[in-house]
Amino acid sequence: MRFDLLTLFPELVAPFLTQGITRRAYASGQVQVQCWNPRDYTEDNYRRVDDRCYGGGPGMVMLVEPLERALAAAQSARAQPGPVIHFSPAGRRMDQALVQELAHGQGAVLVCGRYEGIDQRFIDRHVDLELSLGDFVLSGGELPALALLDAVTRLQPGVLGDAASHEQDSFSDGLLDCPHYSRPEQLGADAVPPVLLSGHHEQIRAWRRERSLWLTLTRRPDLIAAARADGRLSRKDEALLSAWSAGAPGPDGKTCL
Ligand SMILES: C[S@@+](CC[C@H](N)C(=O)[O-])C[C@H]1O[C@@H](n2cnc3c(N)ncnc32)[C@H](O)[C@@H]1O
């Protein structure tokens, strides 16, 4: 798997590759990452990568030509041309379903905008997919690119210490993850839920599922609706959900009405 990043700020990317659980995947080449700076593909003395916006107004626009040359260099360094992803507030919201899809692919070329953004003609000519990190505006596409890279890399075989770890993460089965606890068992007045100390695997599994359902129902009811539509809810899940929806208290003693 290989990711090529078109970025004016490769210095932002480099430190990210040497930290945390994903660093071995980058160091070993299991996930290859290379940055391409459009400034290295300029042909004028000023190494210009941006210019004023036609029609007037504040801010600068990233020029097509240095980007096109950088893209051509990146694609020719790949065994096969990769899909081109551009980060933009106008893009599809990034989610775990997309991350899982990309995690099974060969990687991509990630185009990071800066300033007011990229000349639309580059997007029209070359971009296969536009992705947004959320409904807010960042100064550049590097953080969304790194977010995507991290989310995809942690799904690669052997990257997480325990292979089952990401299977219980939020969104993997359509729901939010349950709460987690560690030592000490008693923290002032706050104790770890006794079932987690019981060693009774089936009861622990049921407790986690119930907490996960409750958290999802109260924080993200849209995910419950989607999980139901996908047939991911069991009869037991549905029984709990209809009791809560009828006013029965949830595991925290509150109601969701
Ligand atoms: C200052 S922003 C440009 C914002 C643009 N003028 C707008 O209002 O949509 C510069 C670059 O940051 C990136 N960016 C900013 N917010 C983003 C978001 N929510 N998701 C993905 N990329 C974003 C894009 O690559 C964008 O071209």
Among residues 127, 153, 179, the one where a domain terminates is: 153
The answer on 21 and 130 residing in a single domain is yes
CATH number where 183 lies: 1.10.1270.20
140 lines ligand 1 (CB under 6 A): yes
The answer on 183 and 145 residing in a single domain is no
Check whether 133 is labelled as a binding-site residue: yes
The answer on 132 and 194 residing in a single domain is no
CATH number where 129 lies: 3.40.1280.10
The answer to the question of residue 166 being in a domain is no
Q: Select from 118, 137, 143 the residue to mutate for testing ligand 1; criterion: most ligand atoms less than 8 Å from CB.
A: 137
Sign of CA dihedral 71, 75, 77, 83: positive
The answer to the question of residue 253 being in a domain is no
89 lines ligand 1 (CB under 6 A): yes
The answer on 144 and 64 residing in a single domain is yes
174 lines ligand 1 (CB under 6 A): no
- State the residue range of the domain holding 189: 171-245
Ligand 1 atom closest to Cα of 111? 25
The amino acid sitting at 133 is: L
pLDDT at 187: 98
The answer on 183 and 117 residing in a single domain is no
The answer to the question of residue 54 being in a domain is yes
- By the 8 A CB rule, do 15 and 22 touch? no
The answer on 121 and 180 residing in a single domain is no
The answer to the question of residue 237 being in a domain is yes
The answer to the question of residue 254 being in a domain is no
Q: How many CB atoms lie within 10 A of CB 135?
A: 7
Question: Using CA atoms, how far apart are residues 191 and 80, in angstroms rounded to an integer?
Answer: 54
Q: Select from 50, 61, 87 the residue to mutate for testing ligand 1; criterion: most ligand atoms less than 8 Å from CB.
A: 87
Check whether 134 is labelled as a binding-site residue: yes
Smallest Cα–Cα separation from 226: which of 175, 176, 169?
A: 175
Check whether 136 is labelled as a binding-site residue: yes
The answer on 141 and 42 residing in a single domain is yes
Q: Which residues are catalytic?
A: 89, 116, 154, 169
pLDDT at 164: 75
88 lines ligand 1 (CB under 6 A): yes
The answer on 107 and 196 residing in a single domain is no
pLDDT at 161: 81
The answer to the question of residue 44 being in a domain is yes
The answer on 76 and 199 residing in a single domain is no
CA-to-CA separations, 229 to 20, 82, 115, 174, 222, in angstroms, rounded: 36, 33, 41, 11, 11
Tokens (6 digits) for 74: 């990146």
The answer on 176 and 149 residing in a single domain is no
Ligand 1 atom closest to Cα of 62? 27
Tell me the angle at which helices 142-153 and 96-103 cross, rounded to the nearest 10 degrees.
60
20 lines ligand 1 (CB under 6 A): no
The answer on 199 and 115 residing in a single domain is no
- Residue-by-residue pLDDT tens, the chain, 257 positions: 999 999 999 999 999 999 999 999 999 999 999 999 999 999 999 999 999 999 999 999 999 999 999 999 999 999 999 999 999 999 999 999 999 999 999 999 999 999 999 999 999 999 999 999 999 999 999 999 999 999 999 999 999 988 778 888 999 889 999 999 999 999 999 999 999 999 999 999 999 999 999 999 999 999 999 999 999 999 999 999 999 999 999 999 999 98
The answer to the question of residue 213 being in a domain is yes
Check whether 113 is labelled as a binding-site residue: yes
pLDDT at 26: 97
The answer on 100 and 74 residing in a single domain is yes
